[in-house]
Amino acid sequence: KVLDASTLSFGTRVKCFAVCFIAGIVCSILGTALLPKGIKFFALFYTLGNIAALASTCFLMGPLKQLKAMFEPKRLIATLLMLV
C-alpha cells in the first residue's frame, strides 16, 4: 500500500522529466556562457545541469532501474567518465 501511494502517474513522470531536462539544458548553457567570468561558475552550473539531466531520466525509468542501467558492463566506462 505504501508503494502505491508513492508512485507517480505517467503524465506526472513526463512533466517532471521535461522540467528537469530543460533545467539541465539551461544550466549547462548558462555555465558555458559564464565561462569567461571564471571556471568556478562554469563548473557549478555545468555540474548542476548534468545532475538535472540525470534526474530527468530517473523520472522516466525510476532511480533504481536507472542506476542498474548506468552500471551495466557495456556502459560502465561511459558512466565512470561522466561521473569523474
Q: What is the C-alpha separation between 25 and 50, in angstroms, rounded?
A: 8
Q: What is the C-alpha separation between 49 and 30, in angstroms, rounded?
A: 9
State the pTM of this model: 0.73
pLDDT of residue 23: 95
DSSP H helices, the chain, are: 2-6, 10-33, 39-61, 63-70, 76-83
Output the nine-digit C-alpha cell for 56: 530527468
- pLDDT of 2 > 50? The answer is no
Tell me the per-residue pLDDT of 4-44, one tens digit each, with 9 for 90 and over. Answer: 556 778 888 899 999 999 999 999 999 999 988 889 999 99
